[in-house]
């Protein structure tokens, strides 16, 4: 295979499970990115993903990297395996894109960041919900100071994952490879809280495993104190009957109140400020739009467009390794509080 053009980059994908189709579709829609191979420990599953695209399939990332020329590795394996696969790719000189969360342990996340730094490659952590149009406008409102002082923030994830979801893939719901409702299903929502409202000073939490036969929690609630003095609440469960009900974020400030809801922060439910802004016209259009069917949204395309711009030297990463680490640290703080019954200050330890 000929060397990569500075304008085009060859991508391979490892892990052909539930989320991989979103990545495969997004890569195919970004001119400048060329998918060249996939792999999965279940070779039949890898072949099923590769065959319609006319691509080779492999059982291991080692075998793929030894066979196929590429520039970027996208990692869609179980969360606990993200660091090992990312480090392997970085040491081979490949840029790394990893699904959330980037690890299940902070030391593993740090090892992945160091490996990419040492290799001089980019590390991207996928946070596609930040690119939902209503969330982009909410971020603009925060950055413009339209809320004034923010008093309260809330995020609610009321989804359902039946027992067979966990039975079909035994790594799901385990502490080593997955975590529970906070680490998996609510991960993007925990991220939005600190991305929109700011750094978290401390957290208190309670979790429970009420109905699913898994190691980790199927439900939980956390109270955040932000450095600004604002308070936040996170509610997460996978026990909602009979289907996904809500994935929302609400921000209340002295001069504005907003709720972005729907099933996955993709619908404007309330938008009111003391002063008009031209962004309010766009909100009127979004409020009339249909609620997307998928909880994953359409942000993966925009995320890959940012990856391409970064690799071309035209932009900075929407979420890099250190940004991904902040999310993991907050989730681990929630788990520590739930385990000890105490308020946990953040950061858990000095940042990289």
pTM for the complete prediction? 0.94
2: pLDDT strictly greater than 50: no
The model's pLDDT over 174-219, given as tens digits with 9 standing for 90+, comes to 999 999 999 999 999 999 999 999 999 999 999 999 999 999 999 9
Beta bridge partners of 248: 156
Among 55-64, 128-137, 285-294, 299-308, which is the least confidently predicted range? 285-294
pLDDT of res. 70:
98
Confidence of residue 350 (pLDDT cuts 50, 70, 90): low
Distances (CA, A) of 35 to 24, 54, 56, 90, 308: 8, 10, 10, 18, 13
Confidence at 36, pLDDT banded by 50, 70, 90 = very high
pLDDT, tens digit, for every residue of 79-90? 999 999 999 999
The pLDDT tens digits of the residues spanning 107-154 come to 999 999 999 999 999 999 999 999 999 999 999 999 999 999 999 999
Would you say residue 93 has pLDDT above 90?
yes
Report the C-alpha gap between 337 and 351 in whole angstroms: 20
Is residue 56 classed exposed, middle or buried when 0-12, 13-18 and 19+ CB atoms within 10 A define those classes? middle
Give the three-class secondary structure for 63: helix
Residue from 177, 180, 168, 244 nearest 209 by CA: 180
Structural domains of the chain, with CATH: 9-127+300-318 (3.40.50.720), 129-291+328-345 (3.30.360.10)
pLDDT greater than 90 at residue 285: no
Going by C-alpha positions, the residue among 19, 39, 22 that lies closest to residue 30 is: 22
If one compares 6 and 226, the residue with the highest pLDDT of the two is 226
For the record, the structure tokens of 181 come out as 């409702």
Q: How is residue 76 annotated by DSSP?
A: -
- For residue 289, the model assigns a pLDDT of 63
């Amino acid at each position: 295979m000929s060397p990569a053009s500075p304008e085009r980059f060859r991508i391979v994908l490892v892990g052909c499970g539930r989320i991989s189709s979103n990545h495969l579709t997004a890569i195919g829609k970004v001119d400048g990115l060329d998918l060249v191979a996939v792999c999965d420990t279940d070779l039949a599953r890898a072949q099923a993903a590769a065959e319609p695209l006319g691509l080779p399939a492999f059982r291991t990332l080692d075998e793929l990297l030894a066979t196929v020329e590429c520039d970027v590795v996208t990692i869609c394996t179980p969360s606990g395996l993200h660091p090992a696969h990312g480090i392997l790719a970085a040491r081979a000189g490949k840029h790394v894109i990893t699904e959330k969360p980037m690890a299940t342990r902070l030391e593993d996340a740090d090892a992945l960041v160091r490996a990419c730094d040492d290799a001089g490659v980019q590390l991207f952590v996928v946070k596609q919900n930040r690119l939902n149009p209503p969330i982009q406008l909410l971020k603009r409102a925060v950055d413009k100071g339209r809320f004034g002082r923010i008093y309260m923030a809330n995020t609610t994830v009321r989804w359902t994952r039946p027992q067979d979801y966990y039975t079909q893939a035994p790594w799901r719901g385990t502490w080593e490879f997955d975590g529970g409702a906070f680490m998996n299903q609510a991960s993007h929502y925990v991220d939005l809280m600190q991305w929109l409202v700011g750094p978290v000073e401390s957290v208190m939490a309670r979790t429970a495993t009420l109905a699913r036969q898994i190691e980790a929690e199927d439900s939980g609630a956390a109270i955040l104190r932000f450095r600004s003095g604002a308070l936040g609440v996170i509610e997460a469960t996978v026990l909602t009957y009979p289907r996904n009900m809500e994935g929302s974020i609400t921000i209340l400030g002295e001069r504005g109140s907003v709720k972005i809801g729907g099933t996955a922060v993709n619908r404007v439910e309330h938008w009111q400020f003391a002063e008009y802004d031209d962004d309010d016209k766009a909100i009127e259009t979004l409020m009339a739009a249909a609620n997307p069917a998928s909880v994953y949204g359409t942000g993966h395309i925009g995320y890959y467009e940012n990856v391409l711009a970064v690799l071309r030297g035209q932009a900075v990463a929407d979420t890099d390794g250190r940004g991904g680490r902040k999310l993991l640290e907050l989730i681990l703080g929630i788990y520590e509080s739930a385990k000890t019954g105490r308020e946990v200050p953040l950061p858990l330890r000095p940042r990289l």
